[in-house]
Structure 1
Amino acid sequence: MKVNILITLLSLFIISCSKKVEKPNIVFVFADQWRAQSLGYSGNPDVITPNIDKLASEGVYFSNAISTAPVCTPFRSMMLTGQYVLKNGMFMNDVLLDPDSKSFAKLFSEQGYNTAYIGKWHLDGNNRSAFIPKERRQGFEYWKALNCSHSYNNSNYWSNDDKLHQWEGYDAELQTKDAIAYIEEQSKNKKPFCLMLSWGPPHAPYQTAPKEFQDLYKNTDIQLRPNVPEELAEKTKTLLKGYYAHCSALDSYISELQDAIKCSNIENNTIFVFTSDHGDMINSHGQTKKQKILEESTKVPLIIKYPALLGKKGKKSDFLFNTLDILPTMLGMSGINVPTGLDGEDITDVITGKKEDTREASLVSCIQPFGQGKRSKGGKEFRGVITKRYTYAKDLSGDWLLFDNAKDPYQLNNLTGNPDFKSITKNLEGLLYEELNRLDDKFLKGAFYIEKWGHTVDSTETVPYTN
């Protein structure tokens, strides 16, 4: 009798051990140039984002999500490879990511995932509309993408048939519908899938969202951030109406994606991520675009919803999450071993409360100013850190910026050189050099790195591109 019981227990143990753990699906959605301050759940009274606000109430939303190098190509390269830009050479726009990179889709494909990429790519060199061959798609199988375009109506894309097609209408809407079709098809398969949906808006041009979303703001008296100069007030209000129209359009597509996931009965086992590559100054401090360490450029939205692991009750996290953490965290949440050589951290255990949050700072860098952030527009090489209270940065001449973001949330008072903050400055400088040493960043002139990686630049130190 005892022998039979032991045999039965042993059989059950063997069956339980051999049973495969179901891998989660991943739907990773990111916009271009959506700053963290332009969302309802972050306290913005004007922008209409009810669906993203709802998403935040169902997942973990990060108040300190930081773009490590706040500009398009650098962010995308770090997101896919988990490597700092001085290790993959992608510290400027319009340069080519090494086709042999051990990147996101390749790592998930090795674990049995189907993979897809839809939307803006911006990792294939300086011809923004050219065909991208399969060997340069970083392992993504399903493919409907264009290297780069900011024409959001009737824009082009390349598909798996290697032919040029057109999104007939507002491209973010059509890209979302295509993503939904992919989700619905994949939900019928036994294999898990990983889908990346990359929207071009709300990046400029700001006044090109569908009319129904522009009309939402027609009679709104936009409230400006106090760091917008008075002489730019009316212009900024007009820009923000267009910017917010894009935001509200994308917000509606978040709802459609969530509905598709629920209707496909895969919500519980799907990791859904919403974020952005960097922010947008929109005249805060009289500045535009990105490549800055200021809040409007560097802080981005980040929400992770994964009911099977995180439940469905929203939770705010002040963890200093940076771009390099994306790949290892997605791997870790999926139960996949994180390979050595990545520069970020799998923070799954921090999110779930199994591990203490010990991170003191996150790095932000500009290796080489270029394009919209070129030197004639005030751009410069810098390295800095953001903590839960302070922003600190050095340029090649020495200490450059220090803000107490708790007392000065709009960063109006640069404390650099203030004797009362001497010890704080020294501590922040120490944290900065810890990160630079960890990443083997010698903080040299941009020209050194341009030459090292063989990038071709024009008289403004920018890689010239063709459309």
Structure 2
Amino acid sequence: MERQPSNQPNVIVFFTDQQRWDTTGIHGNPLGLTPNLDRFAQSGTHLENAFTCQPLCGPARSALQTGLYPTETGCYRNKNPLPPDVRTMAHYFNDAGYKTGYIGKWHLADENPVPASKRGGYQYWLGANALELSSEPYNAILWDNENQRVKLPGYRVDALTDAAVRFVNEHQDDPFFLFLSFLEPHHQNRVDDYVAPDGYRERFQSRYVPPDLAALGGTAHQHLGGYYGMVKRLDENFGRLLDVLKSLNIHKNTIVLFTSDHACHFKTRNALYKQSGHESSIRVPMALGGPGFERGGRLPELISLIDLPPTLLDAAGIQVPEHMQGRSLMPLLRREQIKWPDDLYVQISGVQLGRAIRTQRWKYAVSAPGQDGTEVPGSDRYIEEFLYDLESDPYELTNLIEFESHRAVAERMRKRLLTRMVEAGEDEAEIVPAVTKGSGQRRVLSEEVEI
């Protein structure tokens, strides 16, 4: 018998790590890696232009849990734990009578196992702080509510999904909020390799290389086969989880979000895999399904990870806290006449301290010279780093920041960025313009500057 829908839909977050947007069929990948996600996005709501607000694991996760920029929570780098007085989505779902559960990688504490006081309010816990440091692809090690060590059988993606299936089955008669957080397709740090299930790397090695990686190299030719194999296994398990919801007859009353914390540039933009303002660092797959999101179509607006907490709370009928810095997508889905921001703001820390802003046409980024992005959250002085025309150069291969022809665009984007920084709670800063040079045949029409 089908469970009668209540006014409290279940909510599941299927959260991958370091997954590029163009690994998916809905974004043109030709390898058939994500048939389950593709079908899900096409029948629900596909957020076509989705981005992280901080391309680094811990900071991105802090934003998704709290709806606040990392500089607001203090989690601007990986080693900074979430402050105990900061409320997460779990706290709001707990208050609304939900059973809340967290399975997988946390990365918002500073120790393993993670004590109850540092788990962000989740009632059920089967997690590890930095899963890449405590487990292996075929040796999934986590800790339970009592901080007892648990070894899960199977490949790590399968093992975590098995645990999620058990949670859903046990709580099918309750309203529940489940956050399922994978490490894959993130690299395994110890070996600096993308370890796919046995036999999967070989299926995808040397098959398709995105244009930026084909041009810039990095570690793509070494790692793409394993990376794609991990994406394939994630999608298979996403399909498994959707099947479970259908078999329990709760699929029509369960909101499901699929997204990732950041993307991966395979050491083409710096010495690591992310921590830059490029699309290959910040653009992620994102889709929503279930109550409120059925047949929502493809949204072209620029959506940030920070918009998801207010969206999930709003969709579940829970009042969105006024202090959250993101915006709920629900008015867009209801086709209300609202003004959605026409630019997107990104904070960058780690190997550099930087800031970036993106419109539908332009990408502009700055960095703070001499500042350690792991030691300070922000700066009062930045210099221009790059400007890209995403219409003619979507894979960001030609930096226009020094071209005289694009100085008006850079000046407009600089003003936009400074405004966004202050809106995010940062102090006012100075951005030093780049030294310009001749532009050859390049020209920018006056009406293109504002796009």
Q: Given the two structures, how large is their TM-score scaled by the length of structure 1?
A: 0.83
Paired residue for 1:197, among 161, 173, 180?
180
Distance apart, 1:284 and its partner CA: 4.1
1:161 paired residue number: 146
Q: Equivalents in 2 of 1:444, 1:74: separation in Å?
A: 21
1:328 is the counterpart of 2:310: yes
2:356 paired residue number: 384
* Corresponding letter in the other structure for 1:192: P
Unaligned runs of 5+ in 1: 1-19, 375-379, 446-467
2:421 paired residue number: 436
Distance apart, 1:314 and its partner CA: 6.0
Distance apart, 1:322 and its partner CA: 0.8
Aligned residues: 406
* Corresponding letter in the other structure for 2:11: I
Q: Equivalents in 1 of 2:340, 2:309: separation in Å?
A: 20
Q: Equivalents in 2 of 1:415, 1:132: separation in Å?
A: 46
The within-5 A match list for 1:241-252 is: 241-252=225-236
1:293 is the counterpart of 2:293: no
1:237 paired residue number: 221
Give RMSD over aligned pairs.
2.0
2:325 paired residue number: 343
The within-5 A match list for 1:6-21 is: none
With 426-435 and 75-84 compared, the bigger mean Cα shift is at 426-435
Q: Equivalents in 2 of 1:161, 1:87: separation in Å?
A: 31
2:130 paired residue number: 148
Q: Equivalents in 1 of 2:210, 2:428: separation in Å?
A: 32
Partner deviation per Cα, 1:221-242 (whole Å, 9 max, x = no partner): 4232333366848x52331000
Partner deviation per Cα, 1:422-462 (whole Å, 9 max, x = no partner): 222222222212211112212779xxxxxxxxxxxxxxxxx
Q: Equivalents in 1 of 2:300, 2:197: separation in Å?
A: 34
Q: Equivalents in 2 of 1:238, 1:68: separation in Å?
A: 28
Partner deviation per Cα, 1:343-370 (whole Å, 9 max, x = no partner): 111121113312345311111112x43x
Q: Equivalents in 2 of 1:197, 1:443: separation in Å?
A: 37
Change (3 A) 1:31 1:420: same
2:246 paired residue number: 262
Q: Equivalents in 2 of 1:352, 1:254: separation in Å?
A: 27
Q: State the identity %.
A: 29
Paired residue for 1:176, among 144, 155, 161?
161
1:210 is the counterpart of 2:197: yes
1:395 is the counterpart of 2:367: yes
Q: Equivalents in 1 of 2:336, 2:271: separation in Å?
A: 41
Partner deviation per Cα, 1:181-201 (whole Å, 9 max, x = no partner): 1112211x2x31000000011
2:443 paired residue number: none
Q: Equivalents in 2 of 1:402, 1:443: separation in Å?
A: 21
Unaligned runs of 5+ in 2: 369-381, 431-451
Q: Equivalents in 2 of 1:123, 1:443: separation in Å?
A: 28
Q: Equivalents in 1 of 2:270, 2:412: separation in Å?
A: 30
Partner deviation per Cα, 1:282-302 (whole Å, 9 max, x = no partner): 244576400111011100111
2:65 paired residue number: 80
2:334 paired residue number: 352
Checking the alignment, whether the CA contact within 8 Å between 2:220 and 2:266 is kept in structure 1 is yes
Change (3 A) 1:263 1:88: same
Instruction: Give secondary structure in 2 for the equivalent of 1:96.
Output: coil
1:277 paired residue number: 261
Q: Equivalents in 2 of 1:22, 1:360: separation in Å?
A: 33
Change (3 A) 1:340 1:411: same
Paired residue for 1:52, among 16, 26, 37?
37
Q: Equivalents in 2 of 1:76, 1:123: separation in Å?
A: 7
Change (3 A) 1:215 1:159: same
With 204-213 and 147-156 compared, the bigger mean Cα shift is at 204-213
Paired residue for 2:287, among 303, 319, 338?
303
With 240-249 and 341-350 compared, the bigger mean Cα shift is at 341-350
Q: Equivalents in 2 of 1:304, 1:357: separation in Å?
A: 21
Q: Equivalents in 2 of 1:101, 1:21: separation in Å?
A: 29
Checking the alignment, whether the CA contact within 8 Å between 2:418 and 2:428 is kept in structure 1 is no
Q: Equivalents in 2 of 1:272, 1:350: separation in Å?
A: 18
The within-5 A match list for 1:438-457 is: 438-442=423-427
With 99-108 and 353-362 compared, the bigger mean Cα shift is at 353-362
Q: Given the two structures, how large is their TM-score scaled by the length of structure 2?
A: 0.85
Q: Equivalents in 1 of 2:20, 2:359: separation in Å?
A: 18
Larger relative helix fraction? 1
Distance apart, 1:408 and its partner CA: 0.5
Q: Equivalents in 1 of 2:195, 2:360: separation in Å?
A: 36
Partner deviation per Cα, 1:96-116 (whole Å, 9 max, x = no partner): 111221111011110111100
Distance apart, 1:156 and its partner CA: 1.1
Q: Equivalents in 2 of 1:229, 1:212: separation in Å?
A: 24
Rg larger in structure: 1
1:66 paired residue number: 51
Instruction: Give secondary structure in 2 for the equivalent of 1:310.
Output: coil
* Corresponding letter in the other structure for 1:392: Y
